[in-house]
Structure 1
Amino acid sequence: MTKHLVFQSDFGTSDGAVSAMYGVAKTVDNDLDLYDVTHDIPQYNIWEASYRLYQTICYWPEGSVFVSVVDPGVGSDRLSIVVRTKDNRFIVTPDNGTITHIEDSVGIEEARVIDEKVNRLARSYESYTFHGRDVYAYTGARLAANVISFEEIGPKIDVDQLVKLSTPEVKVDGGIIEGTIDILDIRFGNLWTNIHKDYFQEASIDYGDTLEITILDDTRQVYKNVMSYGKSFADTQVGEPLLYINSLENIGVALNQGSFAKAYHIKTGEKWKIIVRKAPKIVYS
């Protein structure tokens, strides 16, 4: 098995929390290669933790171990788990919905509950608020370093019993496509939707078409305009909006060399809806 151990959390890097997890991992095996997805997940945002794994995990070598700690229920009776995906990667995480997007996109082959009598950092049993260090980093490092096998994590749990978040489905009605704004391409302010490119192909929407876009915050309209569907940001003028296919092959909304999210105060989540329809052609008499 590879010795890649990959961390993500909502801890940030302004204190010693992430460094402590690294230290635990290196104490297990100093030859472990440690990496990060991100430690800038918004606090307590399990949805974004789930999505960032989906964005990342399939590009890592088989056998890679991911430790994901966004854990507002730390110290409660929520379970601590390790899952093995159907493409043979591992995720160490609280059972709070973090595996939602991976289960939907890749599939979970098997899941086990961490047996803390065996897989917990020594002398940490009176600490109930830093399972990222005491349980997840420790267990993930032991798994990545082949100190323990997957079967030695703890008892098996039915995959169907794992906690999953709600994932809204795309709706299609008479050429109108309705989806949700799942997440932001944070650095650039692009909107990433749950509308896969296949929906555009089925609706015979081609590059260069002009589309009418409506964005709703629940039932309140916050944006409505027409924009083009392009292959890249260069297919429109600087400052102009466009639709494109993002790196996960879903439809994105961008402002060329600007932040669409900031310009129009767009956020993400189940209640943020996007409606796409072909713009009516203007006929000049």
Structure 2
Amino acid sequence: MSRNVVLQTDFGVSDGAVSAMYGVAVSVDRNLRIFDLTHDIPQYNIWEASYRLYQTITYWPRETVFVSVVDPGVGTSRLSVVVRTLDGQYIITPDNGTLTHIKKNIGIAEARIIDENVNRLPKSGESYTFHGRDIYAYTGARLAAGLITYEEVGPIMEAKEIVELSKPEATVEEGIIEGNIDILDVRFGNLWTNIGRELFQEASISYGDSLEVTISNNTQQVYKNIMTFGRSFADSHLGEPLLYVNSLDKLGVAINQGSFAKAYHIETGSNWQIIIRKAPEIFFRS
């Protein structure tokens, strides 16, 4: 029985690149079910490719085959791999850091290097710049269709050898939480941090508390304000900032019906730090 194939790229859909990948997969087995995760990853942004896989993968059935192609090193000596996660999913991708979040948050059971002498679209041997079509979509479709086994992908490699990007961890000390802006909720401009809800519990922060939020890019402070920790956007007025728990159980920063990222020109990555603490109480003399 054919499995699902889920595609992710930084190609966009303004030309025929994604369609060509669909065509290769359907030519392998017209009964394959092919879906798009996204094709709007910012060009060459391996970090975002890694995060979007992490955001999505656990909601798909076991043995779904993910093909992720954000590949600034295409045609170089970087390896092409297929990994099987601890949850029984398959991911086909360049070994360039795209598996960072999967490796740290979900776990890799086994990894194999794609043998391109066997697992390559016929008559594509002289092409070195479209591995998404010629190797990844072709190998993914054959694996999903059951035409090859996982073992036939290629030689095994140690999971610990998979390339990882730098991924800072959030911390809490004396009630002060420090983390990073991992990614944007792109359409709405909310900031998604790497701070898990459990750190708020450890810092004895509850819904309704007023919190001082400071955001910096390296050492330059970009934003500082007091906002409410709410269960939903209804816990703030229109245009007000708030902290909330997002769909991945991480802390998000938002403006009610506005884009926080655009309003304060905030981006993502390890250079973007966020510090959260309870706001000091202010007492007025009568």
State if a TM-score over 0.5 links the two structures: yes
Equivalenced residues, count: 285
Give CA deviations for 1:69-117 in whole Å, capped at 9, x if unaligned.
0000000000000000000000000000111101111100000000111
Q: Which residue of 2 aligns with 1:271?
A: 271
Please report how far the alpha carbon of residue 217 of structure 1 lies from its aligned counterpart in structure 2 after TM superposition.
Answer: 0.7
Give CA deviations for 1:146-172 in whole Å, capped at 9, x if unaligned.
000100000000001110111001122
Measured in 1, the distance between the counterparts of 2:55 and 2:162 equals 21
TM-score (structure 2 length as normaliser): 0.99
- Once the two structures are superposed, the pairs formed by residues 153-172 of structure 1 within 5 Å of their partners are 153-172=153-172
Measured in 2, the distance between the counterparts of 1:66 and 1:77 equals 22
SS in 2 for 1:53: helix
Measured in 2, the distance between the counterparts of 1:9 and 1:167 equals 21
Q: Which residue of 2 aligns with 1:61?
A: 61
Work out whether residues 2 and 64 of structure 1, in 8 Å CA contact, stay in contact via their aligned partners in 2. no
Root-mean-square deviation over aligned CA pairs = 0.7
1:130 maps to amino acid = F
Measured in 1, the distance between the counterparts of 2:117 and 2:173 equals 54
Work out whether residues 174 and 203 of structure 2, in 8 Å CA contact, stay in contact via their aligned partners in 1. no
Work out whether residues 172 and 203 of structure 2, in 8 Å CA contact, stay in contact via their aligned partners in 1. no
SS in 2 for 1:11: coil
Q: Which residue of 2 aligns with 1:247?
A: 247
Q: Which residue of 2 aligns with 1:89?
A: 89
Give CA deviations for 1:44-69 in whole Å, capped at 9, x if unaligned.
00000000000000000001000000
Work out whether residues 181 and 274 of structure 1, in 8 Å CA contact, stay in contact via their aligned partners in 2. yes
SS in 2 for 1:93: strand
Q: Which residue of 2 aligns with 1:256?
A: 256
Measured in 2, the distance between the counterparts of 1:2 and 1:32 equals 6
Work out whether residues 2 and 62 of structure 1, in 8 Å CA contact, stay in contact via their aligned partners in 2. no
User: What is the identity percentage for the equivalent residue pairs of Structure 1 and Structure 2?
Assistant: 68
SS in 1 for 2:168: coil
- Once the two structures are superposed, the pairs formed by residues 93-112 of structure 1 within 5 Å of their partners are 93-112=93-112
Q: Which residue of 1 aligns with 2:20?
A: 20
Work out whether residues 213 and 224 of structure 1, in 8 Å CA contact, stay in contact via their aligned partners in 2. yes
Measured in 1, the distance between the counterparts of 2:247 and 2:169 equals 20
Work out whether residues 63 and 90 of structure 1, in 8 Å CA contact, stay in contact via their aligned partners in 2. yes
Work out whether residues 112 and 155 of structure 2, in 8 Å CA contact, stay in contact via their aligned partners in 1. yes
Measured in 2, the distance between the counterparts of 1:2 and 1:104 equals 29
Measured in 2, the distance between the counterparts of 1:3 and 1:89 equals 11
Work out whether residues 2 and 32 of structure 2, in 8 Å CA contact, stay in contact via their aligned partners in 1. no
Please report how far the alpha carbon of residue 2 of structure 1 lies from its aligned counterpart in structure 2 after TM superposition.
Answer: 5.0
Q: Does 1:6 align with 2:24?
A: no
Measured in 1, the distance between the counterparts of 2:106 and 2:168 equals 18
Work out whether residues 2 and 63 of structure 1, in 8 Å CA contact, stay in contact via their aligned partners in 2. no
2:104 maps to amino acid = D
SS in 2 for 1:213: strand
Measured in 1, the distance between the counterparts of 2:174 and 2:278 equals 11
SS in 2 for 1:234: helix
> Gapped runs of 5+ residues in structure 1?
none
Please report how far the alpha carbon of residue 267 of structure 1 lies from its aligned counterpart in structure 2 after TM superposition.
Answer: 0.5
Measured in 1, the distance between the counterparts of 2:2 and 2:121 equals 22
Work out whether residues 115 and 154 of structure 1, in 8 Å CA contact, stay in contact via their aligned partners in 2. yes
Give CA deviations for 1:20-66 in whole Å, capped at 9, x if unaligned.
00000000000000101100000000000000000000000001000
Q: After the TM superposition, which segments of 4 or more aligned residues of structure 1 sit over 2 Å from their partners?
A: none
